[in-house]
Amino acid sequence: MAPMDQPSAPLLTRLADYRPPDWLVPHIALNVDLDPERTRVRARLCVERRGRHGRPLILDGEELELLSLKVDGKEQPLPNHGPLTLAIAGDAATIETEVAIAPAANTRLMGLYASGGNLCTQCEPEGFRRITFFPDRPDVLARWFVRLEADAGRFPVLLSNGNPVAQGILEGGRHYAEWDDPHPKPSYLFALVAGKLRPFRDRFTTRSGRSVDLAIWVAEQDVPRCAHAMDALKQAMAFDEEVYGREYDLDVFNIVAVHDFNFGAMENKGLNIFNARYVLADPATATDVDFDSISGIVAHEYFHNWSGNRVTCRDWFQLSLKEGFTVFRDQQFSASIGSPAVKRIEEARFMRSVQFAEDAGPMAHAVQPDAYLEISNFYTPTVYNKGAELIRMMHRLMGPEAFRRATDRYFAEHDGRAATIGDFLAAMGAEGLDVGRFEPWYHQKGTPRVAARLTQNGGGTVLHLAQSNPPGGEGAPPLLIPLEVALFSPEGELLAPARLVELGEWTKEIAFPDVHGPALLSINRGFTAPVRIEPAPDRATLSRLAACDDDPFARYDALQALMMSALLDSLGAGTEVGHADVVAAVRRTLEQRGQDPAFVAEAILLPSETLVGETFDEADPAAVRAAREALRRSILSGAREELWAAFHESGAPAADLSPRAKGLRRLKGVALSALMAADEHEATAAAFLMFTDADGMTDRMAALVALASSNAVERQEALKLFRQWYGNDPTLLDKWFAVQAGSGRTDTLEAVKALTADPAYDRRNPNRVRALFLSLTGNPARFHHPEAYALLADEILALDPINPQTASRLALALARWKRLIPALGLRMKAELERIAAAPGLSRDVREVVERGLG
């Protein structure tokens, strides 16, 4: 078979076409003879016919050079292309294959590939077929035995899934290691790693007394930067025992950090592989945001051991079964070790600015999609984060005890098997969830809207709620929407304490018989449902709620809505309208900074340009930026003293990683950014001093970000120093690229062009590509320019043959052309058409481009 055969012609895969596998593979023994240029993989599969049928066994394979094929010990002729189709007479057989693959030439980073001199794998979702012939679908679970062989000098460490069972020296300077995984698993959870790695070791004893050897494997110089990830791992292991009753189930748990990786990290059984940026941290090189993402992602991958691995997905339409649930679990974990209100603010902000945007664009899909061209395109904010919000709603509707009984039931009923979202819902239903009414959430795309208004009559106050489907969702049933609601008097007195309203019909009225006289409505407190509430309350109401609400999230939300209203009022009027109410609210909020600095920092942060743009059917990013900059300057002139005080009085030693210290640093950074609104010399000088004198990366980055957007004379010097100091650290060099591409300056596009020619710009490294180009696309005022569209399209075309998954990520920004004013949107569309016309496009990019144009 030719090693270069193309993936077959684009064809939609549909949920409705799902059929259980014809053949099972109860056991696989894999023998991998590792070599970067030419690795040989011998596989022995025990296959069994499932049920009575005469259909052949079909084994997926891509870019494999087939060297030998035996069925029950008998040599077979070698077919020359496509998946292997084998007619088998009996109900069971042993299939032996030998293939050759070329990891050093694998730039897609799917299957077996080289990263920094080491070899590693990525198999989810369909990478295992690039390693050997196998039914590469998640509902085929096998027992795995793996033997690895490699040169002992180049690859002293040999890791795979499960428990280590043997290792030894071979002739010719080679060695081997054998791994046995007792838990049946699908091929997407297979992993191997070979390389020069050093362990950072620890140990964890599970509740039932199993001692687990933990190790994080990294390059020698990075060993001192593993302590934080290791702590997070141990905390996550304890959390899953306490909160979900889930224990770890192998003798070892290994994490490996690699610098070339398409996503954040991967939950391979017993051998998690991480993008190095989500492992390595110390206060000198990592920001607080980095520390928090590392804890969250380490926990996420660990939690997959149960939600994903012990119970896996039947097919890829069930992706949110493992991802939504696991994101919810990692969110609970992060809240438990940090500041819950701040964590919830960040989650809601992400949903509103990123997931709502996806749901209103060409890639909108249900949490359980019903068709895809390329499944890699569906690892999305909708599947992950909206999926997590659905789990959160169930948790809230059922209460934590019933929810826990339901997860126990789900794990018990499906352990060792491949399950569906329907199975999960059935377990919830058995513990009291009204599944019939809840389930439509999984099948409907778009963001639901809820109209809410208060009226008064002699009998008190009435809350009128009406839900409507998003465009395109006409005909779908009403959703079950849990909304936490409270009422306040205009003086800020609590009139009706928070309660959960279940809106399960198109309209509903809720009576508050004891509330007479004017009342302010606080609704969707804590973001209990991923919906838009309409209309926005008037600015006076928002000002009062921002001051008086008893819940920090709700105060945050009110202040954000107030800022948003002010921006939209200016944009609507075409001229700046008064900002006095916003300024007063910001000043009042700043006064509370002694109690909760982290909350204050989040609350006074202006809504991003992206979020403001999202509120328009057709956004004008330049106008959005102008209005937002005007508001920033008003806040600066109206709250200058308070901002300087917050800047000087906040901050904390970098070594202190407590939530309060993080909050103090965050507030210092946010205050600095506000102080830089007018490029005043006093502020830029303070920023430069903060940059040079910082005792840790959080302060240093905050200062660099502020300077990078300014016209300060200190700007160039700071960028130059940063490169000098950290140019050898890939993660920090990524930050250096990202900061420049995210700059608000008018010459940002020129800078990005120049950076693509920097010797450190490496198109084969996804982190570097994302640092430059996703920072640009996330910078609306600078991205929305025809020249930037052309630059991005060129990059997509150059990247697609190298790494289609990353190319397709970049293409998402262009696919949204309808959401821009036509002067811009049509230019984006032209670039999409140019991409669509290119020969040999990957399925990944084709799907995004076609949806964008369709």
Q: Which of 108, 246, 300, 344 binds ligand PHE (CB under 6 A)?
A: 300
User: Where does 432-496 have alpha helices with state H?
Assistant: 435-438, 440-443
d(Cα 835, Cα 324) in Å, to the nearest integer? 32
Residue 682: CB partners within 8 Å, gap ≥ 6? Answer: none
- The one of Zn ion, ligand PHE, none whose footprint includes residue 263, by CB under 5 to 8 A per kind, is ligand PHE
- The one of Zn ion, ligand PHE, none whose footprint includes residue 549, by CB under 5 to 8 A per kind, is none
d(Cα 171, Cα 10) in Å, to the nearest integer? 47
Closest CB 262 distance from ligand PHE, rounded Å: 6
Query: Is residue 292 near ligand PHE by the rule CB under 6 A?
Result: no
- The one of ligand PHE, Zn ion, none whose footprint includes residue 122, by CB under 5 to 8 A per kind, is ligand PHE
Closest CB 300 distance from Zn ion, rounded Å: 5
Q: What type of residue sits at position 243?
A: V
Choice between 322 and 352, CB closer to Zn ion: 322
Choice between 287 and 385, CB closer to Zn ion: 385
Q: Which of 212, 266, 345, 701 binds ligand PHE (CB under 6 A)?
A: 266
Residue reference for tokens 């309808």: 818
Ranked by CB distance to ligand PHE, the top (closest) residue is: 263
Closest CB 840 distance from ligand PHE, rounded Å: 23
d(Cα 136, Cα 124) in Å, to the nearest integer? 10
Choice between 301 and 800, CB closer to ligand PHE: 301
What binding mask, one character per residue, do residues 111-140 give for ligand PHE by CB under 6 A, x or -? -----------x-x----------------
d(Cα 495, Cα 489) in Å, to the nearest integer? 6
CA distances for 350 relative to 345, 362, 382, angstroms: 9, 19, 11
Q: Which stretch binds ligand PHE (CB under 6 A): 264-272, 389-397, 448-456, 491-499?
A: 264-272
Choice between 248 and 647, CB closer to ligand PHE: 248
Choice between 216 and 674, CB closer to ligand PHE: 216
- The one of ligand PHE, Zn ion, none whose footprint includes residue 124, by CB under 5 to 8 A per kind, is ligand PHE
Choice between 265 and 631, CB closer to ligand PHE: 265
Closest CB 135 distance from Zn ion, rounded Å: 23
Q: Which stretch binds ligand PHE (CB under 6 A): 39-47, 257-265, 283-291, 845-853?
A: 257-265
Residue 444: CB partners within 8 Å, gap ≥ 6? Answer: 366, 469, 470, 473, 476, 479
What's 484-509 look like in SS3?
Answer: EEEEECCCCCEEEEEEEEEECCCEEE
| Angular region, 439: left φ>0, alpha ψ -120 to 50, beta rest | alpha
d(Cα 819, Cα 828) in Å, to the nearest integer? 11
Structure tokens at 703: 């200062």
- Tell me, what DSSP letter sits at residue 11? -
- The one of Zn ion, ligand PHE, none whose footprint includes residue 379, by CB under 5 to 8 A per kind, is ligand PHE
d(Cα 15, Cα 370) in Å, to the nearest integer? 5
Residues 316-335, interacting with Zn ion (CB under 5 A):
323, 326
d(Cα 626, Cα 814) in Å, to the nearest integer? 23
Query: Is residue 278 near ligand PHE by the rule CB under 6 A?
Result: no
Binding residues for Zn ion, total number by CB under 5 A: 2
Structure tokens at 163: 């428990």
Residues 399-458, interacting with ligand PHE (CB under 6 A):
none
Asked, as a colleague might, if the bond just before 535 is cis with ω within 30 of 0, I would say yes
Q: Where are the beta strands (DSSP E) in 548-672?
A: none
Judge whether 267 counts as a catalytic residue.
no
Q: Which of 179, 200, 356, 379 binds ligand PHE (CB under 6 A)?
A: 379
- The one of ligand PHE, Zn ion, none whose footprint includes residue 204, by CB under 5 to 8 A per kind, is none
Among residues 379, 433, 383, which one has the least CA distance to residue 844?
379
> Which stretch of DSSP H or E encloses residue 45?
strand 39-49
Closest CB 109 distance from ligand PHE, rounded Å: 9
- Tell me, what DSSP letter sits at residue 328? H
Closest CB 303 distance from Zn ion, rounded Å: 8
Structure tokens at 491: 């003086």
Choice between 285 and 326, CB closer to Zn ion: 326
Q: Which stretch binds ligand PHE (CB under 6 A): 60-68, 259-267, 592-600, 740-748?
A: 259-267
d(Cα 740, Cα 708) in Å, to the nearest integer? 6
User: Beta-carbon neighbour count of residue 493 at 10 Å?
Assistant: 9
Q: Which stretch binds ligand PHE (CB under 6 A): 265-273, 531-539, 701-709, 751-759?
A: 265-273
Asked, as a colleague might, if the bond just before 659 is cis with ω within 30 of 0, I would say no
Q: What type of residue sits at position 688?
A: F
Q: Which stretch binds ligand PHE (CB under 6 A): 297-305, 443-451, 502-510, 712-720?
A: 297-305
Residue 679 backbone dihedrals phi, psi, to 5 degrees = 55, 30
Q: Which of 323, 614, 699, 734 binds ligand PHE (CB under 6 A)?
A: 323
Query: Is residue 263 near ligand PHE by the rule CB under 6 A?
Result: yes
Q: Which stretch binds Zn ion (CB under 5 A): 216-224, 315-323, 390-398, 662-670?
A: 315-323
d(Cα 382, Cα 473) in Å, to the nearest integer? 16
Query: Is residue 260 near ligand PHE by the rule CB under 6 A?
Result: no
Among residues 628, 633, 699, 691, which one has the least CA distance to residue 670?
699
Query: Is residue 301 near ligand PHE by the rule CB under 6 A?
Result: yes
- Tell me, what DSSP letter sits at residue 653? -
Choosing from 96, 149, 301, 609, which is the catalytic residue?
301
Residues that bind ligand PHE (CB under 6 A): 122, 124, 262-263, 265-267, 300-301, 304, 323, 379
Residues annotated as catalytic (active site), given as ranges: 301
Residues that bind Zn ion (CB under 5 A): 323, 326
